[in-house]
Amino acid sequence: MVDEDVTERARRAFADHGSFERTDDDRYAHVATAFDGEVTVRDAGDGRVGFDVEVRVPMLDDVTADDVAPVVEDGWYETFERRVEDLGGVTAGEHDLDPAVVERNREAVVGVEFADVNERRGVDDAAAVVDYVEGTFVQGLIPGYDYVDPAASLIDRAQGTGESP
């Protein structure tokens, strides 16, 4: 159970952020991305709010119209794992992030946790983690495949802003 003060502080910060919707007393869904991003809030002690962030992205073969050879998908997943390890630089807070990536039900699931005394900075950092995972996914798409949603719309959006996957 989360301390009421911590719950209320986090609730206000998430409500003011705009990229999250509350799904439960202590859970928030990131709604500004094509992927499932969820943040669970906890009392981390000493007035700090704990943030447990989980982001789920589809495996490569699930976003292509073509068949992807298992060896290619394995290489894609290993590269995705390595890239996600570098997410520490995207947060404003001084967090010692240790992301975990696991494959579960045809999804690459990224999990990371941190705590911050400043709940608004913590919410911003949680959003930055979700955005980083989405960007890492797009950067890892392999040219030459015919992509379907959500990858196709992410590629279109990236190309519309002058970037390419």
pLDDT recorded at residue 3 = 52
Which residues, other chains included, contact 22 with Cβ-Cβ below 8 Å and sequence gap of 6+? 11, 14, 15, 28
Range of the domain at 49: 4-160
Contact between 50 and 113 under an 8 Å Cβ cutoff? The reply is yes
pLDDT recorded at residue 4 = 61
pLDDT recorded at residue 108 = 97
pLDDT recorded at residue 75 = 97
pLDDT of 88-103, one tens digit each? 889 888 898 999 999 9
Contact between 93 and 125 under an 8 Å Cβ cutoff? The reply is yes
pLDDT recorded at residue 25 = 83
Whether the predicted pLDDT of 165 surpasses 80 = no
On whether residue 86 sits in a domain, the answer given is: yes
Residue 32 DSSP one-character state: S
pLDDT recorded at residue 162 = 55
Contact between 155 and 147 under an 8 Å Cβ cutoff? The reply is yes
Tell me the residue type at 126. Answer: A
The domain that holds 128 is classified in CATH as: 3.30.1460
Q: What is the mean pLDDT of the chain?
A: 91
On whether residue 165 sits in a domain, the answer given is: no
On whether residue 68 sits in a domain, the answer given is: yes
pLDDT of 104-156, one tens digit each? 999 999 999 999 999 999 999 999 999 999 999 999 999 999 999 999 998 88
Whether the predicted pLDDT of 1 surpasses 50 = no
On whether residue 15 sits in a domain, the answer given is: yes
On whether residue 156 sits in a domain, the answer given is: yes
Give the model's confidence band at 161: pLDDT under 50 very low, under 70 low, under 90 confident, else very high. low
- Whole-angstrom distance, CA of residue 132 vs CA of residue 79: 15
On whether residue 34 sits in a domain, the answer given is: yes
Across the beta sheet with 27-30, the strand order is 20-24, 27-30, 36-45, 48-58, 107-116, 100-104
Q: Phi/psi of residue 16, each to 5°?
A: -75, -20
pLDDT of 21-79, one tens digit each? 999 889 999 999 999 999 999 999 999 999 999 999 999 999 999 999 999 999 999 99
Number of domains in the chain: 1
